[in-house]
Amino acid sequence: MNKSKYRAILIILSLIIFISGTYISLDWARLFVIKEELKHNNLLYTYIAKSLIVILSTILVFIIGKDGLNPKDTKRLKFIYIFIILADISLVIFEKPYIGIFLFAVAQLGLIFRNGKGIFEKYKVDNLCILKENLFVNILLFIILFILIMVIIMKDLLRNKNLFYVFLFYAILLSISLLTAIANLLLKVFPRPNSILITIGMLSFLLCDLNVGFTMALETSTISLITDSIIWIFYAPALTLIALSGFNFSKLKA
């Protein structure tokens, strides 16, 4: 990796950290606003700042070039981030979230394919079985329990049953995506730094979307304001870490 690209990555990461700090502060400051009607109104800056995070993380993906794990992986990441951008735009433009959730589902399918590619090959070569890993089994059971709890909670909170089933489908898909990332880490399919970034990124994605679901389901209140403020605490790291997972860190000193 040449020095100019390395410098550009550091600048982008610094901007992401700085911008995240500003909108997080503004989001949580809403809790201390006296007038109730103003608490649930986002400032124009927060919309712009959050959009910049999506753009900057996407730029990270598109500047990978020859410094990626391999050309196919870089193309997959570009495909995924294009759909993430389209999904974010859809959630802003359209009143109902169905199109946005569908586009995010496509992005998650892309992540499942990208992070799961090579898992079965690794299984055959090393004669390993993922299900024998205690950590994997425990996490699998936890996620199943998590989905069941979410079904019970969201079924009561969401008045729109169609939206409930859409959320349920996406929650299952997101859980599979997280499990795929964990399997990638346990079976050492990707280099360890990349697998760790992917796993933390996917866990952040799950926590982000969990709060998205709560925010949509809850009545306008202090609790919904808190869940809304939590969303981007996890979304920015998810986007950034998954984008960084596309780089070949062995080339950093090159």
d(CA 224, CA 89): 22
What is the total residue count of the chain? Answer: 254
| Entry pTM | 0.87
Question: Per-residue pLDDT tens for 81-130?
Answer: 999 999 999 988 988 888 999 999 999 999 999 998 877 666 655 555 55
- Which residue bears the tokens 């100019």? 4
Say which residue, 162 or 194, is predicted with more confidence: 194
> What residue type is assigned to position 62 of the chain?
F
**Best mean pLDDT range from 96-105, 165-174, 221-230:** 96-105
Contact (Cβ atoms closer than 8 angstroms) between residue 115 and residue 177 = yes
Show the DSSP H helices in 36-70 as ranges.
36-39, 44-62
Tell me whether residue 159 is exposed, middle or buried, using C-beta atoms within 10 angstroms of its C-beta: 0 to 12, 13 to 18, 19 or more: exposed
Domain holding 45, by residue range, is 3-251
| Beta bridge partners of residue 153, listed in sequence order | none
- DSSP code of residue 68: B
d(CA 225, CA 219): 10
Instruction: Provide long-range contacts, Cβ within 8 A and 24+ apart, for 16-24.
Output: 16/53, 16/56, 16/57, 16/236, 16/240, 19/49, 19/52, 19/53, 19/56, 20/49, 20/53, 20/232, 20/236, 22/49, 23/49, 23/50, 23/232, 24/229, 24/232, 24/233
* Number of independent structural domains in the chain: 1
**Average pLDDT, integer, range 15-29:** 93
